[in-house]
Structure 1
Amino acid sequence: MKSARSRPAHPTSLVLRKLFPYAARLCLVAFLALLAGSFFAGIPVWWAWIPLGLWVVIGVGGNRRSGAAETGGGSGAAAPEAVTVAAPVAGRWAALNSPADKVPSHGTRDYGQEYAIDIVVAPGPGARPGPGWWPPARPAAAFPAFGKPLFAVADATVVRVEDGQRDHLSRTSWLALGYFFLVESVVRSLGGGRRVIGNHVVLDLGDGTHALYAHVRRGSARVRPGDRVRTGQPLGECGNSGNSTEPHLHFQLMNGADPDTADGVPFVWRGIGVPRNGETFTAEEPESTRARP
């Protein structure tokens, strides 16, 4: 791994990252309560729009202010130096929501995902179900990424592991996508970061850099907090837990172990770079997993 000490999170950024999510959740709860009250208690329906508007303002303001805090407030401040690591997967994959196209890659700095990337297996034509009207949902096993092994990107120490959340059905049909964005994503955000990232593994790579693997398959984790792992060592399997429309890996580097307070850190995959949206790439099988004659 290329050594590049990550800047510690700015104290103001830490406070904001703790404050804004809680405030946003409170506004959503107030909106839902007032909306229900408009039907059952005669509360004016327009009252519900006040906390909803505050939720939008908090979301936009939180991203802008935490972004200013991590760059020191200067518009000309340089981005953190990218950290070079191995690829977390093997085989042929395609990139989605890539930081090579925009930053923040997912439209938010929440949960340290400023430079995060999503990747799905890129098999032959027709092997990966696409969007459509029918069926409304598919089992996770219908997607080629489900169950694919995930590998350590560097020699590291495991600091966080969760793999008890279920792998839900896909949300790739038009009806399911509407439900996902209008209902499920909102409800999951009320549950905090762990309900958004789902099952996950966090590695401490040293020099203040941590790697997060999100949406891991339920029960697949092969490591526990405190374990030392080597580059290419299997950690678990790709799944569909958390805020996910289909089985995929959400990968990111960050400057702390807690996604709720960490800032994102740019990455480069050794021999691959940072694939752009829709770009396919092939990662070699780690030497530790290659079959020996």
Structure 2
Amino acid sequence: MLTSPRSIPSPSNLQVEPRLDPHHQDHLVICSLKPLHSVRSPVTYQQQLTQFGVCVKQDHPDLGQKALEQRLPFASTYLREASFSATVIKAKQRNRLCLEKSLITAVASLSPRLTKIISEAQCTVGGDFDFNPAPSDPSVDLLLVAGGVGINPSYSTLLHTASLLHLNQASGGRDYKIGSAHLCYSAKNTQELLFKSSIIKACGEFPDKLSCDLHVTQQSTDVDLHLQPFINRGRITEEELQAHVDPQRTLCFLCGPRPMIEALSKTLMDFGLPKDRILFEKWW
């Protein structure tokens, strides 16, 4: 088991006692006694092994090579540990690395049991979140549901829809068949409602096509006046979702914490929305 990155010593800070054979020890004594002005390299009496090897290599190639060989194994080990410390393979406590299973999977010649590995995974990434209609595609009504930082893909989809509406506006409605888009977005408080100003602005540009309901679940201060028309206290409700679900036209995108996604997926299917029209992105 590797310790935390802070406890991994850099080889440049280690004082290593080199183990040299008698032949090289004699060279070391000779070099140490040799007047400094007669040595072309700037050798000092107190130097780390790597620095010593580089400095004396011109005058004593064998001794310099031996010094570097003594040091190289430490450098390779340090770089490997430092590299793993920069990865995201961390324990839940995030204060030390637990790499046994990950390293075995990476270097073993046997095929891993992926089902078992996935069952013990601390993070899952996946989904089918994509909205990129062609001009010939029939129009759909989008229902975008986001929780916390799950707003990112929904926000991108909302802005993409706004861009398509601008194109349609410029072409007189000949380019794309765009339906409506409604965003339900929940966070702890208004400070954590990311992109709220841009979301409200986009909805204001196309009020007949784009709309939003912003929810706060732990708001402890007064809501700013300009946000009040869009803010709802409490979680996203079933009634709100049902008002924007048409089993024939609605395409729903979900992104948020796992319990939220699972609960809302079941609710939407209870409303008659087909499973293949409920798309999601998961990052838990």
| TM-score interval, smaller chain | under 0.3
User: Of Structure 1 and Structure 2, which has the larger fraction of its residues in helix?
Assistant: 2
Over alpha carbons, which structure has the higher Rg?
2
User: Of Structure 1 and Structure 2, which has the larger fraction of its residues in strand?
Assistant: 1
Q: How high is the TM-score relative to the length of structure 2?
A: 0.23
Greater relative CO (CA pairs within 8 A, separation 6+): 1
Q: How high is the TM-score relative to the length of structure 1?
A: 0.22
